[in-house]
Structure 1
Amino acid sequence: MERFVDAAPGVRLWTEDRGAADASPLLLIMGAQASGMGWPDALVDLLAARHRVIRYDHRDTGRSTWAFDQRPYPIRELADDALAVLDGLGVERAHVVGLSMGGLLTQLLVADHPERLLSATLIGTSALSEAPYVRPDGTRIPPGRLPGIAPRVLEMWSRPVADLGPEAEVERRVEHWRVLGGDQLPFDAEYFRALERKIIEHTGHYDAGTAHGRADASGLDRTALLATASVPTLVISAPAEPVFPPPHPDHLAQVIPGSRLVEIPGMGHALPPAVHAPLADAILGHTSGPGGS
Structure 2
Amino acid sequence: MLSRLLGVEMVVDVAPGVQVWAEEIPGPGEPVLLVMGADAAGLTWPDELVDRLAERHRVIRYDHRDTGRSTHAFDEAPYAIRDLAADAVAVLDAFAIDRAHVVGMSLGGTLVQLLLVDHPDRLWSATVFCTASLQGDPDLPGPDPALLRLWGELTDERDREQELDWRVEHWRLLNGAGVEFDEAWFRELEERIMEHSGREDKPAAHAAAAQDGLERDLTENTVPTLVIEAPEDPVCPPPHAAHLASTIKGATLVRIEGMGHAIPPALATPLAEAILAHTAAVG
Provide TM-score, normalisation by structure 2.
0.96
Deviates more, 1:83-92 or 1:162-171: 162-171
Other-structure match for 2:219: 227
Other-structure match for 1:16: 23
Runs of 4+ in 1 over 3 A off after TM superposition: none
Contact 2:80 2:209 in 1 (8 A): yes
Match of residue 243, structure 2, among 232, 251, 275: 251
Match of residue 209, structure 1, among 203, 215, 233: 203
Contact 2:154 2:204 in 1 (8 A): no
Gaps of 5+ in 1: 131-142
Q: Distance in 2 between matches of 1:116 and 1:107?
A: 13
SS across alignment from 2:226: strand
String of CA shifts for 1:172-209, please: whole Å, max 9, x gaps: 10000000111121111000000000000000011111
Residue 23 of structure 1: CA displacement?
2.4
Find out whether 1:44 has 2:36 as its counterpart.
no
Other-structure match for 1:136: none
Other-structure match for 2:80: 74
Deviates more, 1:49-58 or 1:121-130: 121-130
Q: Distance in 2 between matches of 1:221 and 1:71?
A: 24
Find out whether 1:113 has 2:101 as its counterpart.
no
Q: Distance in 1 between matches of 2:114 and 2:272?
A: 23
String of CA shifts for 1:12-47, please: whole Å, max 9, x gaps: 110001123x62000000000000000001110000
Q: Distance in 2 between matches of 1:168 and 1:33?
A: 18
Match of residue 195, structure 1, among 186, 189, 196: 189
Other-structure match for 1:137: none
Find out whether 1:89 has 2:95 as its counterpart.
yes
Other-structure match for 1:54: 60
Q: What is the one-letter code of the residue matched to 1:26?
A: V
String of CA shifts for 1:207-241, please: whole Å, max 9, x gaps: 11111000101110012xx0100100000101101
String of CA shifts for 1:226-285, please: whole Å, max 9, x gaps: 010010000010110100011110011111111111111100000101110100000000
Q: What is the one-letter code of the residue matched to 1:117?
A: L
Other-structure match for 1:241: 233
Residue 164 of structure 1: CA displacement?
2.8
Taking only the aligned residue pairs, the percentage that are identical comes to 55
Contact 1:94 1:119 in 2 (8 A): yes
Match of residue 151, structure 2, among 148, 157, 160: 157
Aligned length: 276
Provide TM-score, normalisation by structure 1.
0.92
Residue 160 of structure 1: CA displacement?
5.1
Q: CA RMSD in A?
A: 0.9
Contact 1:19 1:50 in 2 (8 A): no
Cα gap change, 1:109 to 1:177, in 2 (>3 Å): same
Deviates more, 1:147-156 or 1:160-169: 160-169
Gaps of 5+ in 2: 1-7
Deviates more, 1:159-168 or 1:169-178: 159-168
Contact 2:37 2:108 in 1 (8 A): yes
Other-structure match for 2:257: 265
Other-structure match for 1:63: 69
SS across alignment from 1:284: helix
